Structure 1
Amino acid sequence: MAYRDERLPREKVFRDPVHNYIYIQHQVILDLINTKEFQRLRRIKQLGTASLVFHGAEHTRFTHSLGVYEITRRICDNFKRNYPTKTAGDGLWDDDKERLVALCAALLHDIGHGPYSHTFEHIFNTDHEVITAEILTSPETEVNQVLRAVSPEFPEQVASVIQKTYPNPQVVQMISSQIDADRMDYLLRDAYHTGTKYGTFDLTRILRVMRPYRDGIAFQISGMHAVEDYIMSRFQMYQQIYFHPTSRSMEVILSHLLLRAREYYSNADNANEMGAPYLLFPFFKHEFDLDDYLLLDDGTLTTYFAHWRQSGDPILSDLSHRFLDRKPLKSVIYTSETEHELPGLRDLIEKAGFNAKYYTATNNSYDLPYDAYDPKMKKPLTQIELMEEDGDLIELSSVSALVNAITGKFSGDQRFFFPREMLQNNAADTDLFDPIYQAFQQHIHNDTLI
């Protein structure tokens, strides 16, 4: 057994508002937590712009990653206690072989996230899963050095779990499936920090009814109602929290702010001004490396935004103000029947003095709460299997009327975002804007484009 595979002489704990205690029992886990790459996650919020809507949502990727580790540890304990392998190939849990790789993958699954996570990823064409694998396998990172102390091949093994190519589907499904440690932690943690009680579910019961089998993880059929509760909690969280229109509005502003910065600082004269975002230049040119990426966190970007409020570019300055001072855009729902009106609305917004490229946007937010396995899908989902007393498996939606009602049905909406000023007629000193505002508002009814 390698040194870093040893158990700590006395387990360490992290106090946690969701799990009470998070138990650290292996030297390798403690060493990974203390790497600079993992500590960077303290400076990246889990929910990005949602904290501008739900003021308690200040939790980080660091706390979430610890939570995913803890749930995975509890799953491993349950499997070791109740379903230990007895003979090779029996489909039960081989704790000696699989525990450490599962725990490390759980802890490190989000280590590749950048500042403001998905918005940054969209603008600069980064991929946090690819970067996660690079952090794990690059000899230059502290994370890789810790993992290699277990064995030379261990970094690639852990990376393969996150990439879903690891040969044991039980380990992969612990970290990535329709009901996994990642989703279970972020639902409970996000519900706690946003104050939304309907996002909670019975974690203890779900972990109790989980069990390994040859092709992955199943749930005892006696626990079906706990699984149903989890599916509905996830559905509610997406509709009420993750798809909140104000949070999406702030994401639009953030996205346009970064786009405008890239355009503005591509001019050599502007690249040398005070507050120039030197740490972002490699991303503006898409010539960044891992070292460049790991220098960034939410605070880095926020500092640049504060500088840009004083920018000589009025759009960059105004977007920075709107983001930092929480001045969201307004939005309306549109459909295929009303989409044809959007070009006309953009024209009116231009006439009112706004650059439509930076002050309008369309945003589609849809979620698939649950779906049965379909091999023809581009990325087939691992369906939730219930195990009957005789060992037979049955897919969840085939026995749950509640889950069947939402299976394969996308939920969400598509919105058109525009400046809040378009719903106001505060230009009383000039007659020019009155008909523009009035013409715009004739298309808007409550939250919907008519």
Structure 2
Amino acid sequence: MEQTQFLLPHEKVFRDPVHKYIHIENRIILDLINTPEFQRLRRIKQLGTTSMTFHGAEHTRFAHCLGVYEITRRICDNFARNYPSKKTGDGLWNDDERLVALCAALLHDIGHGPYSHTFEHIFNTDHEAWTRQIITSPQTEVNQILRHVSSDFPEKVASVIAKTYPNEQVVQMISSQIDSDRMDYLLRDAYFTGTNYGTFDLDRIMRVIRPYQDGIAFNIEGMHAIEDYIVSRFQMYQQVYFHPVSRGMEVVLLKLLQRAQFLYHNQQLTDEALPQLLVPFFQKKISVTNYLRLDDDALNTYFNLWRDHPDSILRDLVHRFLDRHPFKSITYQPEQIDLVNKMRDWVKDAGFTREFYSALNNSFDLPYDSYDPSSKEPKTQIELIQPDDTLVELSTKSDIVSALSGHFTGDQRLYFPKEMLLDPQNRTLTPYLQNFQEHINNNSLVN
């Protein structure tokens, strides 16, 4: 593919707080950014409800996608300059792959729904599947622009997202255990949450990354920068992504949407309270057009309209979400599930509807895992290139990574209304609440 025909006469840049500048050299990339499908990402927060815990986390999927594009562009530049392919099959970088890599990087999150993963849980949507559909649907401007490259180019870009593209180097740039996506969101999320957990030496990683026959590897002298990245990712999950208050707000949002769905199916969400843009999701008849019309702003508008809804549960859940009253939580172990179910009954006995005022929530992450072909979803391991050009898997050389490898981190929590802890009117607590409070007071992990 002759890619020089798509170059802009002059490079354009976007100012960015993480990467300083996002460099746009290609007309196709600029045109994709200007599509309504990509501009919609300005109206979807990168971290969903996390901004209710870390107030600076107001950044968007739009900014993140630009960042992933920029890191991928830097990798392509590095490979083209230092590791250009000399002959077919030499395992080095063929720069004809640049445009498909850049487009996949830019568009990798275009299928995210409002409030990201919370929305997926209730409506059983898959943002990667929607990303592929938006890219390949003739209805979208994104598809029309990609077809300017070639008639099969949208399918090529979608196959990178699906991890079926034949060039593993391109796939691993976008999706692996150390890729452009993860590197950008760690740095970006750390910056906007005001934490230092996610910071690592991106410049050093850019110096030691290199292509090989089966994908992407790293020169072994850069191992400590890779270790720093792995530890930073571990810390961000523990301190930011798994924060119990953010998850408490996610649970309120989840229950709010479930209640709205319940009312719709019982003909109690009508007239001016009817959320027209959500109806296709309630009916499970979703088109690309339906999907793309939803964003965070659309949901928040409906939530504000429901502040005065006659249904007391919907009204209360809206108040809790918009005015930031997260559910409280307590951790539990799998063997305590009988006690947890009893505690959910106490929620009901205290006057709350168990279905909409209690929830089990678990968050687990695997910071790093070496390749296991027998696993259900085998991961691409991080390979180090030694001075003799042989490959070695990261955890066999790094004690730090070896200690983290294969160990899930996270917890399981029962979420419930804060009123279960203290009666706001100081009335005498019921025996159920007394038992609940006693159990909680003996557990140091209440948040």
CA apart distance, 1:199? 1.1
Instruction: For residue 197 of structure 2, give the secondary structure of its aligned residue in structure 1.
Output: helix
Native 8 Å contact 1:331 1:447 kept in 2: no
Relative to structure 1, is the Cα distance of residues 318 and 267 closer, same or farther in structure 2, using a 3 angstrom cutoff?
same
The gaps in structure 2 that reach 5 residues or longer are none
Residue 84, structure 1, aligned to residue 84, structure 2? yes
Q: Which amino acid aligns with 2:381?
A: Q
Within 5 Å, give how 1:272-287 maps onto structure 2.
272-287=270-285
CA apart distance, 1:434? 3.7
Q: Which amino acid aligns with 1:61?
A: R
Native 8 Å contact 2:43 2:297 kept in 1: yes
Native 8 Å contact 1:136 1:143 kept in 2: yes
Q: Which amino acid aligns with 1:312?
A: P
Which one of 348, 356, 362 corresponds to residue 346 of structure 2?
348
1:352-411 superposed Cα distances (whole Å, 9 cap, x missing partner): 110011111111111100000000111100000000011100000001001000100001
1:293-323 superposed Cα distances (whole Å, 9 cap, x missing partner): 0000000000001111111100000000000
Q: Which amino acid aligns with 1:172?
A: V
1:237-282 superposed Cα distances (whole Å, 9 cap, x missing partner): 00000000000011111111100000101233x3433221011011
Native 8 Å contact 2:83 2:92 kept in 1: yes
Structure 2 equivalent of residue 46 of structure 1: 46
1:204-230 superposed Cα distances (whole Å, 9 cap, x missing partner): 000110000000000000000000000
CA apart distance, 1:446? 4.2
The gaps in structure 1 that reach 5 residues or longer are none
Residue 29, structure 1, aligned to residue 62, structure 2? no
Structure 2 equivalent of residue 423 of structure 1: 421
Cα distance in structure 2, aligned partners of 1:3 and 1:191: 35
Residue 204, structure 1, aligned to residue 212, structure 2? no
Work out the percentage of aligned pairs sharing the same amino acid. Answer: 65
Instruction: For residue 198 of structure 1, give the secondary structure of its aligned residue in structure 2.
Output: coil
1:416-447 superposed Cα distances (whole Å, 9 cap, x missing partner): 11110011033445x5x443321211111244
State the TM-score, normalizing by the size of structure 2.
0.97
Cα distance in structure 2, aligned partners of 1:278 and 1:4: 45
Within 5 Å, give how 1:121-140 maps onto structure 2.
121-140=120-139
Relative to structure 1, is the Cα distance of residues 174 and 5 closer, same or farther in structure 2, using a 3 angstrom cutoff?
farther
Structure 2 equivalent of residue 293 of structure 1: 291
RMSD: 1.3
Within 5 Å, give how 1:267-346 maps onto structure 2.
267-268=266-267, 270-346=268-344
Relative to structure 1, is the Cα distance of residues 375 and 5 closer, same or farther in structure 2, using a 3 angstrom cutoff?
farther
Cα distance in structure 2, aligned partners of 1:428 and 1:137: 59
Aligned residues: 445
1:11-49 superposed Cα distances (whole Å, 9 cap, x missing partner): 000000000000000000000000000000000000000
Residue 72, structure 1, aligned to residue 34, structure 2? no
Cα distance in structure 2, aligned partners of 1:127 and 1:349: 32
Structure 2 equivalent of residue 59 of structure 1: 59
CA apart distance, 1:336? 2.5
Instruction: For residue 278 of structure 1, give the secondary structure of its aligned residue in structure 2.
Output: coil
Structure 1 equivalent of residue 404 of structure 2: 406
Cα distance in structure 2, aligned partners of 1:379 and 1:5: 39
**Comparing 391-400 and 259-268, the one that deviates more:** 259-268
Q: Which amino acid aligns with 1:243?
A: F
Instruction: For residue 309 of structure 1, give the secondary structure of its aligned residue in structure 2.
Output: helix
Instruction: For residue 10 of structure 1, give the secondary structure of its aligned residue in structure 2.
Output: strand
Which one of 369, 372, 383 corresponds to residue 374 of structure 1?
372
Residue 93, structure 1, aligned to residue 93, structure 2? yes
Structure 2 equivalent of residue 10 of structure 1: 10
Q: Which amino acid aligns with 1:59?
A: H
Cα distance in structure 1, aligned partners of 2:425 and 2:38: 51
Within 5 Å, give how 1:228-243 maps onto structure 2.
228-243=227-242
Q: Which amino acid aligns with 1:283?
A: F
Relative to structure 1, is the Cα distance of residues 11 and 337 closer, same or farther in structure 2, using a 3 angstrom cutoff?
same
Instruction: For residue 404 of structure 2, give the secondary structure of its aligned residue in structure 1.
Output: coil
State the TM-score, normalizing by the size of structure 1.
0.97
Residue 393, structure 1, aligned to residue 391, structure 2? yes
Within 5 Å, give how 1:174-213 maps onto structure 2.
174-213=173-212
CA apart distance, 1:3? 8.6
Q: Which amino acid aligns with 2:390?
A: D
Native 8 Å contact 1:112 1:132 kept in 2: yes
Cα distance in structure 1, aligned partners of 2:298 and 2:424: 36
Cα distance in structure 2, aligned partners of 1:206 and 1:249: 36
Structure 2 equivalent of residue 442 of structure 1: 438
Native 8 Å contact 1:425 1:434 kept in 2: no
CA apart distance, 1:341? 0.9
Cα distance in structure 2, aligned partners of 1:404 and 1:316: 48
Instruction: For residue 92 of structure 1, give the secondary structure of its aligned residue in structure 2.
Output: coil
